[in-house]
Structure 1
Amino acid sequence: MPFPPTDRARRVPALAAVVLFTLSVSACAAPEPAATSPAGAATHSQGPALPSAHIHGLAVDPDTGQVLLATHDGLFDATKRPAAKIGGTNDLMGFTPGKEQGVFYASGHPGEGSSLPNPLGLIRSRDGGKTWELLSRQGESDFHALTSTKSGIVAYDGTLRVSPDGKAWTSVKAAFAPAVLAGHPDSDTVLATTGDGLQRSIDGGATWTLNSAAPVIQFAGFASPGEAAGVEPDGTVHVSADGGATWTRTGRVDGGVQAMSVVKGQKWKPWIWAATDSGIVVSTDGGATFRPADAD
């Protein structure tokens, strides 16, 4: 069963799902802003404006507080007002940070005026998205779901694939099409969200098990190797303290989520950032409350 369609899903019907990914970040926390919504309430306030109608990914640097948006129109620094373009214009359908500072992996299609191949295959930036190098599968793969793990890269282009270095790939037999792949660069636990339930791997994506007890999560991300958060299609938020094995409902985010990112906060209360139809919102209490990300 596919998730309810969004603009991105309608643009890519072959995936039969919203193919938005989440991004894993390191386990440090940024200075904490105050949440303003009552406990368990959805956010109705508008957050910072989005630079594109097509948000494919969101990443937050826990050390600097920089908020990056991977979009149909390129990569943007949403910390600036207005959001500032980083590098060229490419349709970054897949996007995930690597383990090292400033390293990102991406996939998608070249933008107007770009000399990059179509589709992009897997590309890598070592300078925060300003420039990109070609790694593999240029002209072959448009990875809509993409994440990094301790063992390497897990990606989906119609076939689930794993790679130790982003260059040599092994196909994985999987009877599901992931909307989101969520991992952490210090762990080999990977979550794959599907309309039929949450798939979980503990070996870097090589084998998978359906977690039938988990909620049907559409977006997921890791704050640390063991701490994860997930959002259902209706915005209901859940957190996990054991790498996605079990989940606890905490609250709800309103506004039609397009992408999310999770960073380490207080114990079992990760910070959850979400790009919604009305802007960027953040929770600093594990999803119990949300507020516009630029609120004082």
Structure 2
Amino acid sequence: MLLATHDGLYDVSKKQAVKVGPANDLMGFSAAMDQGVFYASGHPGQDFSLPGPLGLIKTRDGGKTWEQLSRQGESDFHALTTTKSGIVAFDGTLRTSTDGITWKTIAVGFIPAVLAGNPYSDTVLATTREGVQRSTDGGATWALEKSSPIIQFAAFASAKEAVGVASDGNVHFSADGGTTWKRTGKISGVVQALAATEGAEGKPWIWAATSTGLVVSTDGGATFRPSDAD
């Protein structure tokens, strides 16, 4: 499991988180369907020679090395995700791409803090001040889920299971791709990044980078502990 931060990419699957690759400021990050393939955007670190902003970059070796795909020097995709159909990203304009090179502009009336998707589904969630905007066609059309919580961060653990964290640290879980939600617990500290993987049914594993360190939950967000704890 990889977690993208302002200080680079970290492998959080081991007891002690390990930095992977260059220390880029990764504003957007998303996994592809193939093993070890990820997309990212943001700003280059001091040891990275690509122009800034990064546009869309891609790794095929789990974050050790990166290649340029498109919009270098043009786009800082603060929100970025992959779907079954391609890529959805936001750099002040919502854009979709089937190949990461050519882009289509999507007119929307919201500004997403985070875009969350899964490479095995065309459902995308956008966290906004009004609630969760939801797309079921890879980002082409959107609808506000009026009963959704106001969450700042969101991540898919599987094609159906999603987790979200509000600005106050409250954790929410959805078993139906973001249609309905239930509160499960709370994270202490200011959350800066979120990732999730499938666990026991209804209890995904959740990692969060916070102002006090990296924490993990193995019970769907009911409880959290430091990721390096026994």
User: TM-score, normalising length from structure 2?
Assistant: 0.94
Q: Does 1:101 align with 2:35?
A: yes
Task: Answer with 87-96 or 193-202: which moved more.
Answer: 87-96
1:253 is aligned, of 181, 187, 202, to: 187
Aligned residues with identical type, % of pairs: 68
Root mean square deviation of aligned Cα: 1.6
SS of aligned partner of 1:285: coil
Larger radius of gyration: 1
The structure with the greater share of residues assigned to strand is 2
Note if contact 2:16-2:227 (Cα within 8 Å) is conserved in structure 1: no
Go from structure 1 to structure 2 and tell me whether the alpha carbon gap of 1:124 and 1:170 turns closer, same or farther (over 3 Å shift): same
Deviation at 1:88, TM superposition (A): 2.4
Mapped partners of 1:292, 1:111: distance in 2: 27
Deviation at 1:105, TM superposition (A): 0.5
Structure 1, unmatched stretches of 5+, are: 1-59, 61-67
Question: What residue is the counterpart of 1:178 in the other structure?
Answer: 112
Moved over 6 A (4+): none
Go from structure 1 to structure 2 and tell me whether the alpha carbon gap of 1:72 and 1:172 turns closer, same or farther (over 3 Å shift): same
Deviations 1:220-264 (A, max 9, x none): 111111111111111111111110001111111111111111111
Deviation at 1:269, TM superposition (A): 1.4
Deviation at 1:266, TM superposition (A): 1.3
The amino acid of 1:204's aligned partner reads: G
Go from structure 1 to structure 2 and tell me whether the alpha carbon gap of 1:255 and 1:267 turns closer, same or farther (over 3 Å shift): same
Question: What residue is the counterpart of 1:243 in the other structure?
Answer: 177
The amino acid of 1:189's aligned partner reads: T
User: TM-score, normalising length from structure 1?
Assistant: 0.74
Mapped partners of 1:82, 1:239: distance in 2: 26
2:71 is aligned, of 112, 123, 137, to: 137
Note if contact 2:4-2:193 (Cα within 8 Å) is conserved in structure 1: no
Structure 2, unmatched stretches of 5+, are: none
Mapped partners of 2:138, 2:227: distance in 1: 32
Question: What residue is the counterpart of 1:25 in the other structure?
Answer: none
The amino acid of 1:138's aligned partner reads: Q
Deviation at 1:79, TM superposition (A): 5.3
The amino acid of 1:162's aligned partner reads: T
The amino acid of 2:62's aligned partner reads: G
Question: What residue is the counterpart of 1:274 in the other structure?
Answer: 208
Deviation at 1:70, TM superposition (A): 2.3
Mapped partners of 2:48, 2:213: distance in 1: 28
Deviation at 1:83, TM superposition (A): 4.6
Mapped partners of 1:114, 1:291: distance in 2: 33
Deviations 1:68-88 (A, max 9, x none): 332333323345686543222
Mapped partners of 2:47, 2:215: distance in 1: 33
SS of aligned partner of 1:216: coil
Mapped partners of 2:16, 2:175: distance in 1: 36
